[in-house]
Structure 1
Amino acid sequence: MSATRLLVLGVMRMHGKAHGYLVRSELLSWGADEWAHIKFGSIYHALRQLAKEGLLTFTDIPDWPGRVDYEITPAGEEELLSLLRDALRQGNNRPDMLGAAVVLLPSLRREEAIALLRERISSLSAKQGGVADRVDETASEQPDRAHVRELIGLWEHSAASQVEWAQGLIDRLEAGAYVMYGENPAS
């Protein structure tokens, strides 16, 4: 799964119709070039690839040579939501995928976002322990590899931190923080 793919589809859904420069500007305003390592060329490649797959449509602008406007298709909308749901619920994804899911969180209804975050917590909690037991067993058999336990400690600490963060986000969402899909921002 690609963070660039998810982010480009998300920007297209937000804007309805957009050209590559607008997509790039939006992603840069989120700092995605830093945390998702998105490069200028990868945005245009993603736009062309998504159009080729039927997830976006495109229109050449006759009065502006070289400019192409893109629009998300119903299939693109389905792909966006599928990628977003997976990125939010899975506790084993890369930081760029989680970052993409967080910036696109308002693309979901509040109840669904909360449910997916609860799945994430369950996924993270389930992973703790099993690997540590295997490493402890190996360390007792091979003392020169006991330091590998530090890696497991890092993973456990990271998972615990993510669980705490996800629970905090759930609490904020339940308290009404952020305007989510289908909600009226004026109310």
Structure 2
Amino acid sequence: MTMTATKLLVLGVVRGFGRAHGYRVRAELLSWGIDDWANVKPGSIYHALRQLAKDGLLEATEIGDWPGRVDYGVTPEGDAEFFRLLVDALERPDHRDDMLSAGLALMPALTRDRAVAALAKRLAALEEQREGMRKAPALPGDGAAAGEGQLPPHLGELWTMRTRYADLSVEWTRDLLERVTSGEYEMAGEHERAFGVPGSWRLPDEPQRT
């Protein structure tokens, strides 16, 4: 997993809890099945927490009556960076798969309008890419006489794979955009304890945060 995707996920989880220590952040991410769609090692979570605190995006607080424990909270700068990364993950189709996966995992932290705008921008970019792909020659040297730069015919499967993947990406993004637009999923601001409300996550035995 890229550091950027890890950064987004860690900021999102700390933000969701309001304050959280490293073990809780890791446990929450694992509960999402992150080990199935991202390569997250325990060390990378703790490293990200320390680096984000060093960068001023998280505030670190040592717990006096619990030696070695450090709780983290998102700073205003961290909150702004979280939303920048989240919107970017959803808008831009040129990211690695782990960045898109992180964006989808945290998408409900956006208001519905903001999520719709990001997905619409992604769809437009994907459609433009697909159109450019359709207009381009199938292979470098396509149309040249044999022995004059024409590539072996089987390499056309690479082109077939790319064009079909482009079609699938457009179709999936359009379907997701339609679902979010129509009201599927609870988005930030739609309920007092919606996913996107900072500090709204808590364990059953935890007191309500004030």
TM-score between the two structures when normalised by the length of structure 1? 0.91
The match for 2:175 among 168, 176, 179 is 168
> Residues 133 and 163 of structure 2 are in contact (CA less than 8 Å); yes or no, is this contact kept in structure 1?
no
Measure, in 2, the Cα distance between the counterparts of 1:39 and 1:138: 44
CA distance in 1, matches of 2:162, 2:189: 36
The answer to whether the Cα contact below 8 Å between 1:114 and 1:170 also exists between their aligned partners in 2 is: yes
Structure 1 residues 114 and 19: alpha-carbon distance in aligned structure 2, compared to 1, 3 A threshold: same
Q: Which has the higher contact order (CA 8 A, sep 6+)?
A: 2
| Identity score, percent | 48
Q: What residue is the counterpart of 2:46 in the other structure?
A: 44
C-alpha distance in 2, partners of 1:16/1:146?
A: 57
Mean Cα displacement is larger for which, 30-39 or 52-61? Answer: 30-39
Is the 2:57–2:77 Cα contact (8 Å) retained in structure 1? yes
Deviates more, 1:72-81 or 1:156-165: 156-165
Number of corresponding residues: 187
Q: 1:173 to 1:53 in 2, by over 3 A?
A: same
The Cα offsets for residues 96-151 of structure 1, whole Å up to 9 and x where unpaired, read as 11110101001111011011111111111111243562453423332334444322
Counterpart residue number, 2:31: 29
The DSSP-based 3-state class of the residue aligned with 2:20 is: strand
The answer on whether the counterparts of 1:88 and 1:120 sit within 8 Å (CA) in structure 2 is yes
Which protein has the bigger helix share?
A: 1
Q: Is the 8 A contact 2:59 2:73 kept in 1?
A: yes
Quote the residue 1:149 is aligned against. 156
Give ranges in structure 1 of 5+ residues lacking alignment. Answer: none
* Secondary structure class of the residue paired with 2:39: coil
CA distance in 1, matches of 2:127, 2:82: 26
Aligned to 2:191: 184
When structure 1 is superposed on structure 2, of 6-15 and 133-142 the one drifting more is: 133-142
Q: How does 1:1-16 map to 2 (within 5 A)?
A: 2-16=4-18
Partner residue, 2:62 = 60
**Retained in 1: the 8 A contact 2:87–2:118?**
yes
Describe the shift of the 1:186–1:42 C-alpha distance in structure 2 as closer, same or farther (beyond 3 A).
Answer: closer
Residue 23 of structure 2 aligns with an amino acid whose one-letter code is Y
3-state DSSP of counterpart to 2:84? helix
**CA positional deviation for 1:171:** 1.6
Contact 2:11/2:74, CA 8 A, preserved across alignment: yes
Letter in 2 for 1:173: V
| One-letter identity of the residue aligned with 1:117 | L
Does the 8 A contact of 1:3 with 1:100 survive in 2?
A: yes
Check conservation: 2:37, 2:98, Cα contact below 8 A: yes
Change over 3 Å in CA distance of 1:145–1:73 after alignment to 2? farther
| Counterpart contact for 1:139–1:146, Cα < 8 Å | no
* 57-66 vs 151-160, which moves further: 151-160
2:139 aligned residue: 136
Relative to structure 1, the CA distance from residue 179 to residue 48 in structure 2 (aligned partners, 3 Å threshold; closer, same or farther) is same
